[in-house]
Amino acid sequence: MSSINLIGGSRMTRFLMLLPATLWFVILLLLPIAAIVVFSVGERGPAGGFVPAFTLEHYGNLGARWAAFKNTLTLAPLGTFGCLIIAYPLAYFLAIHTSRWKSFLLTLVIIPFWTSFLIRTYAWIYILGGKGLPSFLEFLGFDYMRMLNTPGAITVGIIYGYLPLMVFPIYVTLERLDKRLLEASHDLGAGKIATFFRVTIPLSLPGIITGSMLVFILLMGEFLIPAILGGGKVFFVGNALVDLFLQSRNWPFGAAIAMSLVVLMLITIGVYLKLVGRFHDKQALSAM
Amino acid sequence: MKDIDRKTFAKELERLRKGSISRRDFLNRTGLGFATAVMASGMGIGSGLLSGTAHAAAKNIGDRVSLATWPNYHDTMNFDAFAKATGASVQVNVFGSNEEMLAKLQAGGSGWDVFVPTNYTITTYTDLDLIEPLDLSKIPNFKADSYEKRFMEPGIVDGKVYAVPKNWGTTGIVFNSKRIKAMTSWKEFFDVTQGYGSGGTIVHDYQLTTIGNALKSFGYSFNSVDEKELADAEKLLIDCKPHLYAITSDYQPALRNGDAWMSMCWTGDGSQLHRDMPEMQYILGKEGGELWSDFFAIPKSAENKEAAYALINYLLDPKVNEREVLAHGYPSGDNRVDALLPPEMLKDPIMYPAAELLNALEFGAAATLVDPNRAELMARFKSA
């Protein structure tokens, strides 16, 4: 008989034990995806919404939102990289160099989460708006610069909004990092820089991967920041989806774009993990 | 409670409305605090509580009523007074477009008891069976003969009243006269955007008005779905895009702090901006443009129907409605309310434009809102 019987379960108990996980999986993952697939091959109703049908025309029409895909695929990796560059030193400092202030500083990183993301993004309207930073710089003698409603403002908003999601996973791996390995590296003659690149970074790779995935996946669906800080002039896939579901109510086309986004994300993440894996292997090899 | 005479109170109230003091500040200055509503009703400010809705107060209408409406479209003190009198607190959801409202209601589970659809959406709601005829006996404050026919008609489908008028207005141009020279047409609006006004223009994130006004600048119909005409409008919008400050329907903040100088604009926003900054001018394009009217309706799915009727009836009380109009600056269309308004307001060309300008305007059509080609055009414009 099956191995389950070895731990004493009957068919019934096996069923019951699998039930919660199966239900979770079916209700929260499979059903919504099935709904999106069904929508994506349907037709738009005369007043919007969805009418059951079978057509692949919406997938054929994806080119109509090419600009949105292009913007997302440029700004999402850029934003993820920006977060990483800023988050890593911060996490490193928190994990390795502070002791007394650690919990206080960590709280500071968390505090922004106590307020709605929307409100925090709105705050940037006033910081980057004409009476904020630009007028301060003008006061200091610089030329007036328009900051709000530019791609730069979107990038700032993205990095600001997503930074904590990158800081924490990296912090956790660095915090758990065995400090004796760093000492060993020094003892064996590696300088600070060599130790950092050949010991610290490879060992914190799991944190870097988790953080990058968290930020990247959420960024691929971002729509709020471009709408608020980009003045609605820069269009992400997220914005295309919001418009299709909430404005023109073309659910089938929206569903087709959502499915394509899922597929695109799986491919991008697959490639990313492959590249990181190769880097990891190389490090392991050169360390031998 | 501090002693405060009626005149001082009225003055402070006016300041509150003009936005020069915050609401909390107002309550402190007048010493009213949470007693506001009670005292206000004693001073004749909340007469609706005593007349039209007195019966509602006696009846238990539940502890909440959910309202889906537009930005800057109410006097929040009215909601407080309503809650005080009936025990039902008003939960306000603010929306950016009719499509968004429709999408929420279509998807189900909106949780709204009252919402504020615009004229051209009502037949869509009745076709989709999302709203039901109103029981006018529960809205005694609604008097059909006090409204102009054209502002009430869209609420009537197949002879049945599905929605009662809230306000009407126009879609025009607001510009900061310190930066932008006086103009009279939509053609100038788009010319200035691409010329000396570059970088300071806002167009709505709303296909109906943005495409409609671009069409008007060529002299076409606001509601055109003609392929060639739409192609002209698309080219114009895409040419303008690099010169735009933003594509958003929330244009007041950028105009107020000087980042933007010109925008497509609805009546009430024009009134509010002009009231606070006299250099803000509101005009209608001489080619024409949009005339609209908003309504109160109750979704079929409403959970608190009694409270919904009570709220609509309360807001249509002429005294209450007068305060609404003073706060948001949209004409009510109700001649009982007009009779209460200060005479200079009735002469205000923003709220009550000259007849020849008004007659050039068109109501938006249901077909315009749901036209798939216009939706795709807007998407191409936004992603260009």
pLDDT in tens, A71-91: 999 989 999 999 999 999 999
**Residue A2 — pLDDT band, cuts 50, 70, 90?**
very low
Mean pLDDT confidence for A187-207: 90
User: Among B103, B378, B383, whose Cβ lies nearest the Cβ of A65?
Assistant: B383
Among A231, A243, A246, select the one facing B246 at the smallest CB separation. Answer: A231
What are residue B66's DSSP bridge partners?
B91
Q: Is A63 on the interface with B (CB under 8 A)?
A: no
Q: What is the residue whose two structure tokens read 């200079």?
A: B344
Distances B305 to A52, A136, B131, B301 between C-alpha atoms, Å: 33, 53, 12, 9
Question: Span A53-69, mean pLDDT?
Answer: 91
Verdict on whether the full-model pTM lies above 0.95: no
The first and second tokens of residue A188, run together, are: 């064996």
Instruction: Determine the distance in angstroms separating the CA of B378 from the nearest CA of chain A, rounded to an integer.
Output: 9
* Res. A207: pLDDT tops 50: yes
Rg for chain B (alpha carbons), in Å? 21
Percent of chain A with pLDDT over 70: 95
Distance CA A281, CA A47 (A): 56
Query: Is residue B88 within 8 Å of B307, Cβ to Cβ?
Result: yes
Chain B residues in contact with A48 by the CB 8 A cut-off are 99, 102-103, 106, 370
pLDDT tens, A123-177? Answer: 999 899 888 998 899 889 888 888 999 989 999 999 999 999 999 999 999 999 8
**Strand residues in chain B grouped as ranges (E):** 64-69, 89-94, 114-115, 156-157, 160-161, 164-176, 201-203, 244-247, 262-266, 280-283, 289-296, 361-363
Spatial distance between the Cα atoms of B242 and A29, rounded to a whole number of angstroms = 41
B208 vs A contacts (CB less than 8 Å): none
- Does A282 reach chain B within 8 Å, measured CB to CB? no
Q: Which residues of B touch A (CB under 8 A)?
A: 97, 99-100, 102-104, 106, 124, 127-128, 199, 205, 207, 241, 244-248, 253-254, 257-259, 370, 372, 375-376, 378-380, 382-384
CB atoms within 10 A of CB A77: 17
Percentage of chain A with pLDDT > 90? 52
Say which DSSP state A43 is in.
B
A282 confidence band (pLDDT: 50, 70, 90): confident
Find, in chain A, the residue whose alpha carbon is nearest to that of B384: A67
The pLDDT tens digits for A6-45 are 555 688 888 898 999 999 999 999 999 999 999 999 998 8
Closest CA relative to residue B236, chosen from B377, B352, B138: B377
**SS3 assignment, position B353:** coil
- Here the contacts of B350-357 (C-beta below 8 Å, separation 24 or greater) are B350/B267, B350/B270, B350/B271, B350/B274, B350/B282, B351/B267, B351/B271, B353/B170, B353/B284, B357/B284, B357/B286
Q: Give the pLDDT score at B43.
A: 36
3-state helix, strand, coil split of chain A in percent (to 5) is 80, 0, 20
Residues of B in contact with A244 (CB under 8 A): 379
Write the DSSP assignment of A221-283 as a string of letters: T--HHHHHHSTT-S--HHHHHHIIIIIS-BHHHHHHHHHHHHHHHHHHHHHHHHHHHHHHHHH
CA distance B357 to B361: 7
Q: Which A-chain residues 206-245 have CB contacts (< 8 A) with chain B?
A: 227, 231-233, 235, 239-240, 243-245
The region of weakest confidence among A190-194, A214-218, B48-52 is B48-52
pLDDT tens digits in sequence order for chain B, 384 residues long: 344 555 555 555 555 554 444 444 333 333 333 333 333 333 333 333 444 444 444 468 899 999 999 988 999 999 999 999 999 999 999 988 898 899 889 888 889 999 999 999 999 999 999 999 999 999 999 999 999 999 999 999 999 999 999 999 999 999 999 999 999 999 999 999 999 999 999 999 999 999 999 999 999 999 999 999 999 999 999 999 999 999 998 899 999 989 999 999 999 999 999 999 999 999 999 999 999 999 999 999 999 999 999 999 999 999 999 999 999 999 999 999 999 999 999 999 999 999 889 999 999 999 998 888 999 999 999 988
**Contact predicate A227/A243, CB 8 Å:** no
Mean pLDDT score of chain A: 88
CB contact A31 to B (< 8 Å): no
Half-sphere exposure of A282 (CA within 13 A, CB side): 8
What gap in Å lies between CA B65 and CA B86, rounded to an integer?
Answer: 11
| Amino acid identity, position A64 | A
- How long a stretch of residues is chain B? 384
